[in-house]
Amino acid sequence: MERLKLGILISGRGSNMRALVEACRRGAIPADINLVLSNRADAGGLNVAKAAGLPTQVIAHRDYPDRPLFDAAIDGALRAADVNFVCLAGFMRLLSEGFIEGWYNRMINIHPSLLPAFPGLDTHRRALEAGVRFAGCTVHYVRFATDTGPIIAQAAVPVMPGDTEESLAERVLAAEHRLYPLALRLVGEGRVKIEGERALVDGKPAAAAALLNPAD
Ligand code: GRF
């Protein structure tokens, strides 16, 4: 399998991006990071990427009249940077079908819930309102509907009595920082195959959960 040349898309603080950068640096993920791209000039993650000596670029969605044109600009920047795999890491723009098609099975996302539960925004609030006992995070290939697609890996964390949105988000985020590098490593090592709409790890549907328990 071709070595991964990553484009990481962010909109904010970029803590998941930082986890990916650090894992690539210590050789835990067989990948190079060719570009960190943000749709917001004030994204804190840009400073993290710059400090790590990575190429960064800002493409502001407000500068484009519509989503397809904005997405075309992102696509162009990724291809100009010779990116062959995209990681969404807190990228807060919906992507058009054309863009998703162009990166089909070459783009993954992390979402802070145990999908298919609680896709979209306000995940933690909705999880608390639903009274679930376990929350968590999911790394998945990107499909047309928001926060859907073959699941590569999930990590579960308990919901504790007295949890607030903030305390739950913090517990899930710590799991995200372990899960995303692990999931990307599996992809980079060529161990993830998509069959139907399920992602198999080492040929087995259940392997991901066992392999990627963040407590390991
Ligand atoms: C994370 O919780 C991620 O799962 C979600 O947005 C948040 C981004 O945080 N999609 P960060 O920018 O990676 O710190």
User: pLDDT digit string (tens) for 76-109?
Assistant: 999 999 999 999 999 999 999 999 999 999 999 9
CA distance 13 to 40: 11
Distance 208 CA to ligand 1 centre (A): 21
Of 104, 46, 39, which Cα lies nearest the Cα of 74? 39
Using most ligand atoms within 8 A of CB, pick from 15, 37, 39, 42 the residue to mutate for ligand 1. Answer: 15
Q: Which atom of ligand 1 is nearest to the CA of 109?
A: 10
- Decide if 124 contacts 146 (C-beta within 8 A): no
Residue having the nearest C-alpha atom to atom 5 of ligand 1: 90
Ligand 1 contact via 9 beta carbon (within 6 Å): no
Q: Which atom of ligand 1 is nearest to the CA of 110?
A: 4
Of 73, 71, 103, 76, which Cα lies nearest the Cα of 87? 103
Distance 32 CA to ligand 1 centre (A): 21
Q: Which atom of ligand 1 is nearest to the CA of 45?
A: 12
| Active site annotation includes 111 | yes
Rounded to 5 degrees, φ, ψ at 126 are: -70, -35
Distance 160 CA to ligand 1 centre (A): 21
- Decide if 112 contacts 123 (C-beta within 8 A): yes
**In this predicted model, which residue has the larger pLDDT, 34 or 210?**
34
- Tens digit of pLDDT for each residue in 12-71? 999 999 999 999 999 999 999 999 999 999 999 999 999 999 999 999 999 999 999 999
Distance 16 CA to ligand 1 centre (A): 6
What pLDDT, on a 0 to 100 scale, did the predictor assign at position 215? 46
- Tens digit of pLDDT for each residue in 107-122? 999 999 999 999 999 9
Q: Token match 């060529």: residue?
A: 190
pLDDT at 210 over 90: no
Residue having the nearest C-alpha atom to atom 3 of ligand 1: 90
Which position among 111, 124, 140, 177 bears the catalytic label?
111
